[in-house]
Structure 1
Amino acid sequence: AGLRDQRFTSLPKLTAAIVDRVSAYNDEPFQKRPGSRTSVFTTEEKPLLSPLPQVAYEISQWAYGRRVARNGHVSWARNYYSVPFEHIGSKVDLRITDRSLTVYRGDQRVTTHLLLPETAVNEYRTNDADLPAGDRYQQWDAARIRQWAERIGASTLVVINRIFESVAIDEQGLNPALAVLRLSRRYSAERVEAACRITLAGPVRSPRYAHVQPILATGQDQARPARTEPVEHGGYVRGASYYAGGTR
């Protein structure tokens, strides 16, 4: 009996019946030549097939020309992913799927990370093998940043502390704090300290790079205090010697 003459109470039962019917059809001998559809596939067609890829095809998007930062990470969607240290300063391309982020330099795959969730902000995915050993390449955290600020000066430390106080978690304050401290690489530590002191004297409760940098760029931290003239109290009075030599 054909399949249309039967009733199936579930989709799996129908599927199994179709598989059995197709297999029986393919095994039927040819009428005008030796063999069957199954034997032709097994001996002639199957050896020519290429294996299926181990990973299913995924739709992806690309981001080109992303520079690897000095901390050995590249940014994507407000988060950061590590890249092997030998690529620091280079431009790389990112292939992003629903589950992963892959870094390419040219046609060379450099590294792959599981993608952070869309709700993550200022988080890091770091492979320990990507960064070399040594204190210079230690990851930044709030304690290390405060040590750097303390070496610059007391006012700078206050600015950095206020940045961390203004965020919900320390990780959200890492980049804003580092932006302020890295001004000491362009300007001197003394000037950054002076600019932070001026910023703290103003109305801004939570100073950031946008408040400190303009002071340095315009040289406000180097402005000399206005010269003050002595204040005279009363009018000009001639001394006794003036009147002693006068005539009546």
Structure 2
Amino acid sequence: MKGAFIMAVKFNLRLCLQLIDRGISLNTISKQYHISKHTSSKTKHRMEVLQFDVSTIDQYSDDELGKLFFPEMYESENIYLAVDYDYVHKELSKPGVNLKLLWKEYCLSAKDGKYPVSYSKYCRGYAQHVERHNYTNHIEHKPGIRTEIDWSGPTMHYMVPSTGELVKVYLFVATLPFSQYSYVEPTKDMKMNTWINCNKHMFEYFGGSTVRIVCDNLKTGVVSHPKEGEIILTDMYSDFGNHYMTAIMPAQVRKPKQKASVEGTVGKIATTIIASLRNVEFHSFEELYQAVREKLDEFNTTPFQKRDGSRKEIFEAVEKQALKPLPEIPFEVCHWFYSRKVQVNCHITYQKNWYSVPYEYVGKSVDLKVSETTLTIYYQNKRINIHKLFPAYIKNKYSTYEQDMPESVKVSEWDDVRIKKWASKIGPLKCTLCQGQLN
């Protein structure tokens, strides 16, 4: 348990330092990433006292950052102030009271060395409290706060003209509960990369991101969601949330009311899009995609029956301004590989190619973050190297930085003499071949 506490604290600390260094206000940090103003204020104070240069943050591991900034927190396990959720539920029934207000009051009440939990954890705790006691949740939807997402149960298909094969197509559905403005994307599968890209395209379609995402407990996004304890997301989905400063909050298993807006939208989308296109024969994925996009525009611009305006009108008039701006650089899908041992030749292997690591890490286990173009190496979340990734068709190649090698290795370069000596140990044919290449 202690490790889980420390990891959460140190991870938020690293992010908090970067946000403060960018000049982002403490209020914005509190709203966008749910790091309490009390915690970010204390972090900023410690930055000034230590005269910490954030440009050097990658030189520090999680352990080193934690001990440097909050040694007393690092050693303590019982550091968080307990939340009285009975009081929270009672107060929420009063006019004008919401979770954000109650969380701020809770943060101000923290004393005697106790620290407040993050806003996202505060909200998750209240949602679990409501479920345990079968209460009615008093929370009303507010603009720009949450996006609810899911896969549609009903699917579509297109026919391959040359074979007559019917290819199944899935629908990713997202909605903003306040305006009911929605996004739908046809996909060829429901794999992790597809799910992440749909999330990215969703925010691009909206033109901004929300404070949190409420999703189903799909295996591609959620590793563990116990009734009690911390939710564990897949590394890639967690990275996505961090990139957009969005808290990802899976709904409780078999609790569809926690994402009622998207559950309702799934049904409406099935009727509006799938049913209306049921007699159309598509001959390519692109044809189907375009037809779905046209029906989506129609869905968003159709006036409400029991509410003034349309989804798009309410979104444009109110909710769009409440969204957070998107980061300048879009999220890049990447995969993590853990506990790769650094070999005695100062390299690690990935897909039968070799990438150098500073020699002082020989024998240690490092983690790899692999995107489409780069391979980044971490030790205790401290970035220690980055390489351009070899294409998949290239094998048995080395990407080596000279500074990664110890002096005893640097002096032994692969010159003509060394190559000939190596070839002679293999055989006369290899010697002849190498001689020809060298000449």
TM-score band by shorter chain is: 0.3 to 0.5
Greater Rg over alpha carbons, structure: 1
Using the size of structure 2 for normalisation, the TM-score is 0.27
Using the size of structure 1 for normalisation, the TM-score is 0.42
